[in-house]
């Protein structure tokens, strides 16, 4: 199995951190922008896109700040990859950014970044942000 590389992205979002947190941490919020549908049972989240399902385990969740998931397929492989969505507020300007940390194989990083671009565009539309 190829090793995946970590990559990070930053998106400025004009919305309150508490509102953003609802959209990144709850099944109903995530199904508004991240997947067609999201269900959870405890720390196990099921993401549904076009009829296909992927399951992820919620690794950490810090209220108003971040969520971190690991795809079950990675966990079964013994991999320590994860994806994290973190809300960052600039101390001085009070600008709010979403920091994305994810992993992909080297030749799939650009595709992964494009996917996140699209996902965050959807989130901004839902939030009414530019």
Q: 109-128 pLDDT, tens per residue?
A: 999 999 999 999 999 999 99
Are 40 and 30 spatial neighbours (Cβ–Cβ below 8 Å)? no
Domain assignment present for 47: no
Q: Which domain holds residue 16?
A: 4-21+57-124
Q: What is the pTM of this model?
A: 0.92
Domain assignment present for 16: yes
Domain assignment present for 34: no
Domain assignment present for 65: yes
Domain assignment present for 96: yes
Are 4 and 77 spatial neighbours (Cβ–Cβ below 8 Å)? no
pLDDT-derived band at 78 (thresholds 50, 70, 90) equals confident
Strand 96-105 and strand 52-62: the pairing is: unpaired
Average pLDDT on 99-113 reads 96
Asked if residue 2 has pLDDT above 80, the reply is no
Domain assignment present for 95: yes
Domain assignment present for 43: no
Domain assignment present for 35: no
Are 43 and 37 spatial neighbours (Cβ–Cβ below 8 Å)? no
Specify the number of domains making up the chain: 1
């Amino acid at each position: 199995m190829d090793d995946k590389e970590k990559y990070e992205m930053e998106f400025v979002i004009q919305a309150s951190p508490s509102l953003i947190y609802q959209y990144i941490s709850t099944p109903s919020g995530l199904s508004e922008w991240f997947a067609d549908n999201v269900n959870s049972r405890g720390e196990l989240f099921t993401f549904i896109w076009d009829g296909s399902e992927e399951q992820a385990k919620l690794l950490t969740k810090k209220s108003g700040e971040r969520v971190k998931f690991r795809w079950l397929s990675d966990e079964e492989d013994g991999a320590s990859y994860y994806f994290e969505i973190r809300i960052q507020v600039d101390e001085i300007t009070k600008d709010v950014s979403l920091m994305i940390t994810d992993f992909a194989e080297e030749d799939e990083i650009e595709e992964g970044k494009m996917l996140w671009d699209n996902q965050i565009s959807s989130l901004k539309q839902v939030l009414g942000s530019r």
